[in-house]
Chain A
Amino acid sequence: MDVVLAALVKFFETYERYIEATIALVLGVTLSYFVRKLLFKQLARGMPHHLANIITRGVFYTLLLIVILIAAGISGINLMGLAVAGSVAGVILGFALQPVITNLAAGMLIITEKILSPGDLVEIDGVRGWVVDVSLFSITLQRLDGVYVRYPNIKVLSSKVLNYSRSPVMRIDFVVSIAYKEDAEKAYEIIRKVVEAHPLVLKDPPPEIFVSNLGSSGVDILVRVWVPTQMWYEVKRDLLWRIKKAISDAGIEIPFTQIDVWFRNPIRVEKS
């Protein structure tokens, strides 16, 4: 019994520093994990989840680094040497990771300025789609055809970004042409009824229907409606078809492009 006890004491005396470092590491990692959980819970109450997630991840990894350094100090590793090596490595990495750091800074700006959020309908450089993920380095967009596109944050920051989801409503414009011989007032009434009957066309702001142009082939009637932003595609797809059908059912001619050609001199047509 005494032999075992003596062996244990000797073992602890020999490896005391390493045992203490291991305990510090385990306790530190556990504590960091709980701090991360608690912080996320608190932050998520007052800010978007993706932003809270990024902040808590940053805090978690910083705490981990501190814990590792403390554990290394306890185990007797010379931190001075590490610090010197770390600063040299930092300079080299700084040059090597310049694009990454630029993206990181752009990412922080995008997140803090709330330029984009997951779920937003946006257009970046002419590509329209839904924002799937906003991270510190890139933004993932799902195009309307379902394809995923990843943009580095610096590209997003330097591009023209249209965010349709910023407004709860969106305006859709249609141009409906009718032939000159048709009754424009009748066409107006038909279009008005179709627009007002559509449940997803907002009652307020009210729809606008007016003659916008006397074109070369027909009278252009402009239809402007406001719809809930998330419903724009559905309304756009549905409403023009309903208008076309109602106008055709009423017997109103929708003109095709026509050109009247006048000849300076009469043309003689000979029958062979």
Chain B
Amino acid sequence: MLGRIEVPSDLRIGSYEISVRAENGFLTYRRVDSSAGEERRYVLSRGIELRAVPMYPIFYPRFITQFILCVLEHEIVVAPGASIRVSLEIPVDVAIYAYSGNSFKIIDVLALHKDAKYVLYGTTYGGTVARFCVARLTKSVNDVEFGYAYMPLTIKNCMGRVARVSKVLLDASPLRLYYREGSKWYVATQSITMNIVTDTSAIVYYEKPVDPRALPIDDPESLRPPRVYNRTDMLQGY
């Protein structure tokens, strides 16, 4: 399901039916969303390769922010100086990429979670808008459900007091999604470490991928600013 889309092929991803055909010297891409009755068609020249890859849940209904606020299904309490590692699953969508060599364009985003909502992280004068999602606990990468990505999160309490964590702010720019070519559904992020620094601030670090054999997705253009710091500062609560 994930990876290269053969020609001709008929796929089903969630509520979407995709058919790719070769016709009179060009390719046709047709996608029907059975839940909404929407249809999208593309005509592609020869030499274009289509790939279905996981995508950050920030492009549906439209791209407003690159931040994702993951509210933990169960709050986590960490003892002073201690650390805890939990396995979470966060919602992701699927994007259809059109490749020609190293160059690519995203031609379609298949929203797997249509109940998208946004939240304000922080105050109305200094905060940021983020895509809201609920991060659920899971056991391992193999237990992750369709439409979700596995995210191992290590929380380190660097304070001398007990800390209570209810949310993690992720930035889709340093965050990376990895998938296994040809797998039915294998999607994971890097290992994420959250250092709790004070009562109101924490730093989120994006570390190594969970599975070094998995392929990273090519980030969309809007998420490719210079990555000076591979971290996200949560200055307005966690």
Binding site for B on A (CB under 8 A): 166-169, 199-205, 226, 228, 230-231
Contact = CB atoms under 8 A, between A and B. Distances in A.
Contacts of A230: 64
Contacts of B65: 228
A233 B211 CA distance: 44
B81 interface: no
A238 to B, nearest CB: 11
The 3 A-B residue pairs whose C-beta atoms are closest, nearest first, are A204-B119, A203-B117, A228-B129
B221 to A, nearest CB: 18
Contacts of B125: 166-167
A202 B120 CA distance: 7
Given A169-B129, A228-B129, A200 B61 contact: yes
A205 B132 CA distance: 12
B214 to A, nearest CB: 31
A124 B108 CA distance: 40
B61 A168 contact: no
Given A167-B125, A199-B118, A202-B129, 12 more contacts: A168-B124, A169-B120, A169-B124, A199-B116, A202-B117, A202-B119, A203-B118, A203-B119, A203-B132, A204-B132, A205-B120, A226-B124
B132 A228 contact: no
B127 interface: yes
B118 A168 contact: no
A204 B169 CA distance: 14
B45 interface: no
Nearest to A166: B125
A168 B121 CA distance: 10
A202 B128 CA distance: 12
A205 B119 CA distance: 7
Contacts of A205: 120, 124
Question: Which of A166, A167, A169 is packed against the most chain B CB atoms within 10 Å?
Answer: A169
Contacts of A199: 61, 115-118
Nearest to B64: A228
A168 B132 contact: no
Interface in B110-164: 115-120, 124-125, 127-129, 132
A202 B129 CA distance: 9
B164 to A, nearest CB: 18
Contact of A231 (B64, B119, B124, B128): B64
A228 B118 contact: yes
Contacts of A202: 117-120, 129
A166 B126 CA distance: 9
A271 to B, nearest CB: 59
11 contacts: A169-B120, A169-B127, A199-B117, A200-B64, A203-B118, A203-B119, A203-B132, A204-B120, A205-B120, A226-B124, A228-B118
A261 B124 CA distance: 48
A224 to B, nearest CB: 13
A167 B118 CA distance: 15
A196 to B, nearest CB: 8
A168 B120 contact: yes
Interface string B45-86: 000000000000000010011000000000000000000000
